[in-house]
Chains A and B, each alone.
Chain A
């Protein structure tokens, strides 16, 4: 299994997968499957996928391989139409909002930088996104905040369900059937790892 390529190593040597043998089988198989190349159905067209992949890279700050395969995880979800069970009355259902918003994003890139969103520089991409995030009201006819929240909801649900992301934040993942014995402030299990620089605040690795 590949060691996780985390760029923010606050918990040195911590690898949740070392504990996988202690998890129940159903959970273990599910989490292990996230470390395999995704094999879900496709949903996006080629050009949509390129824009979506760039968007996911930006929103998760992943610009090199190996990556947590966020865009593939989202595509699998959309292909199966596994929504969260609601959508805003003034926004189309999730699948259509994804497709429309990717097109709109590409159009913004063309307008601001004269090229496709994926071929913009990283800074240009970030600029396009920042201006969408700062839009109050409509963006190409859709509520900007609702679209932004939809993106973040899908992106984070994928990213933070991956064991590499858990390593990065010191979360040991599944806890059945073992559970925890040392609960309380500043108490750790033998398999939880302390931090290199616990005194550092929330933005430690600038």
Chain B
């Protein structure tokens, strides 16, 4: 454990008196003047952004992290309630289009320090080695300019820092987790039973939730509100896993500050800082390097909104790559009715996984695969499962009374990256007058085949576990891509180290850079990629100062 602490002291900087926020640390936070040229500004304090802020601050860089949303205090800002958690989500307007439009909001992105991980479920699996080479292996998708081995040490670091709990993992490249698996609730038991009856392997975890104390973070209390923000500090989010250590090393977090445009010097072609709006007033922060980590929708939107003489079609968009190859996982959920009481709201929604179907199966007509996991919709979300079957009125009410009898599973299907699934700017503007993102999404045949196969498997598992009836809701989850890494500027926006091809002092370190998505939940991979990029930035700064 001491090794983690030497690398990242966040968990030990949280209070021990039952409150969740170190207010003193925030009060005494270092503050930079706008006229100072800080070494680095980071746009977005979520999975990718916060990781970079912590790594760079620790290495001695002066860093300011901007977030459009608040600097959360779990004690006073978050509630143990579904509808009351509305403000955790990015609710500024966005337009969705295409033949399979993807609803955003609650289901897809967060706003505020900690980013979407504040309300993420908490699954923290690694990608499989094959995910980095789908073009070579399967003739679909793209090859990454890096491979699994390049990320492996960062996966290990992040699993210790979050920390991740789970059984020994036999899929992908086998590995173990630092924390023991959690006990499972009724929903998890159904999953295990169904898998066993079908001869499949089920494993508990991997979840970014403490099992036992970790630093000053307490044990999970199995209250089931992980998607509403963990008021316990048991579930990981950068707010508690990386920001405290960053503050301790002199980083400044500037919350409630929406970056509207990245400034580029037309003469040098270098980024000079960011324009941002706070309390309705526009400001400018000078910086030596700009890092963008605003999520797969806001990152492309910010680049496209940052037009200049050098970049008339948007920053880094000389080859029309910005916003393209945006991916989302096919995340249908299937539920089954049991005579027994399941009461799936007890215990965290993420409990048990199966990755038996993750890889391409040569006997199937489709490429790539899907994973299966437990999910546990609370009442408002559960009502969506029933309204999706067409129920309303008294019929809906009666069926809802059956809530405690239903178990729910979710799939994550690796839908393929396609150039026309992309973010563009819409004529509609937000409250700051900035054009909003239009996200167009359409599935291909392979995608539909995967979804059908995954749904059938979930239905079979639920029946094998004893379900008398099943229902399915079709949905999507986990956006990545939109500014992908590639070998050159004709195929992507950033290089293997997350440095943009177009602007030498501009980096992108969030989920946008992923060229493929696998069937794994993305947050751990996003953090690993960001940690690797930060190390590259530190090394290149060291090399530069050695030269001068």
Contacts and interface: CB of A to CB of B under 8 A. Distances in A.
A174 B393 contact: no
A166 interface: yes
B80 A85 contact: no
Interface of A: 7-8, 10, 23-24, 26-27, 30-31, 58-61, 82-90, 93, 126, 129, 133, 149, 152-153, 156-161, 165-166, 168-188, 192, 195, 198-199, 201-206
B345 A89 contact: no
Nearest to B404: A170
Contact of B189 (A10, A185, A198, A199): A185
A156 B380 contact: yes
Contacts of B183: 183
A201 B339 CA distance: 8
A61 B397 contact: yes
B231 interface: yes
B387 A152 contact: yes
16 contacts: A26-B78, A27-B84, A60-B396, A83-B93, A85-B105, A86-B104, A126-B393, A152-B384, A156-B384, A161-B84, A165-B379, A168-B400, A168-B401, A169-B404, A175-B221, A192-B343
B96 A198 contact: no
B197 interface: no
A185 B379 contact: no
B258 to A, nearest CB: 14
A84 B185 contact: no
Nearest to B437: A86
Nearest to B222: A180
A85 B342 CA distance: 32
B91 A175 contact: no
Contacts of B78: 26
B184 A184 contact: yes
A70 B278 CA distance: 35
A133 B340 contact: no
Contacts of B392: 58-59, 129, 133, 152
Contacts of B345: 171-172
Contacts of A158: 83
Given A84-B105, A183-B183, A202-B469, A176 B80 contact: yes
Given A8-B397, A23-B80, A168-B397, A183 B185 contact: yes
Given A27-B80, A82-B91, A169-B401, A187 B225 contact: no
B225 A175 contact: yes
Contacts of A198: 339, 341
A85 B93 contact: yes
Interface centre among B346, B347, B380, B468 (most CB of A within 10 A): B346
Contact of A185 (B190, B397, B398): B190
A205 B428 CA distance: 48
Contacts of B400: 160, 165, 168-169
B81 interface: yes
Contacts of B232: 176-177, 179
A64 to B, nearest CB: 12
Contacts of A133: 390, 392
A204 B387 CA distance: 18
Which 8 residue pairs are nearest across A and B when measured between Cβ atoms?
Answer: A179-B221, A61-B394, A161-B83, A85-B105, A89-B97, A85-B91, A84-B105, A174-B80
B95 A58 contact: no
A131 to B, nearest CB: 13
Contacts of B104: 84-86
Interface string B316-355: 0000000000000000000001111111011100000000
Given A24-B231, A88-B96, A126-B393, A169 B379 contact: yes
A160 B223 CA distance: 18
A204 B341 contact: no
A159 B392 CA distance: 12
A179 B346 CA distance: 8
Contact of A31 (B81, B340, B384, B398): B81
A186 B344 CA distance: 11
A109 B64 CA distance: 58
Interface string B74-109: 011011111110100111111111000101111000
A83 B398 contact: no
A83 B430 CA distance: 13
Contacts of A203: 395, 398-399
Nearest to A162: B83
Contacts of A61: 393-397
Given A156-B380, A170-B403, A188-B341, A86 B94 contact: yes
Contacts of A60: 393, 396-397
